[in-house]
Amino acid sequence: MKLKSIKKRIWSIVIIITTLIGILPAQANTTETPVKDVELDGRWDDPIRSATTNCPITVFTDGYLLTVKNVSPDRDMTIRITDMAKGSVVYENNIPEVQSAYITISIANFPAGEYKLEITGTPSGHLTGYFTQE
């Protein structure tokens, strides 16, 4: 009885190891999607101090998501994306201050082309950037 139990465990381990070895080459062939930074122009002043500070917002895309990172979420903001070829707004959303630290926007279904990103802060701040969807 004990011998059968040991044999079952050994075969279970062999099957698990064989499965893992079979999966690893498939994972090695996957490629990572390159991430592209979106350069931003404009001003994003500190609402408490009158001095101009470095912009706390960075934006990047991997072709599927547009990600907005804000290391200093201190105000409400509006995010607008415009299709440059058609001149139409394809995305617009008001983001409250408490949700403005990390924002992801799905752009996977956007047609190929150039897009304009606008981030407007309340009471002040306006940033503009451009990205290409391939």
- Is pLDDT of 32 > 60? yes
Q: What is the mean pLDDT of residues 34-47?
A: 88
Q: And the tokens for 111?
A: 């047609």
**Where residue 123 falls among pLDDT bands split at 50, 70, 90?**
confident
Average pLDDT along the chain: 86
- 85 vs 5: which has the higher pLDDT: 85
- The rounded distance, in Å, linking the Cα atoms of 124 and 120 is 7
- 96 preceded by cis ω (within 30°)? no
Q: Is 69 left (phi over 0), alpha (psi -120 to 50) or beta?
A: beta
Question: CB of 100 within 8 A of CB of 73?
Answer: yes
**Where residue 9 falls among pLDDT bands split at 50, 70, 90?**
confident
pLDDT number for residue 131? 97
Tell me the β-bridge partners of 106.
65
pLDDT number for residue 89? 97
- 9 vs 76: which has the higher pLDDT: 76
The pLDDT tens digits of the residues spanning 73-115 come to: 989 999 999 999 999 999 999 999 999 999 999 999 999 999 9
Dihedral angle of Cα 73, 114, 107, 54, to the nearest 10 degrees: -10
**Residue bearing tokens 């599927």:** 64
pLDDT number for residue 28? 54
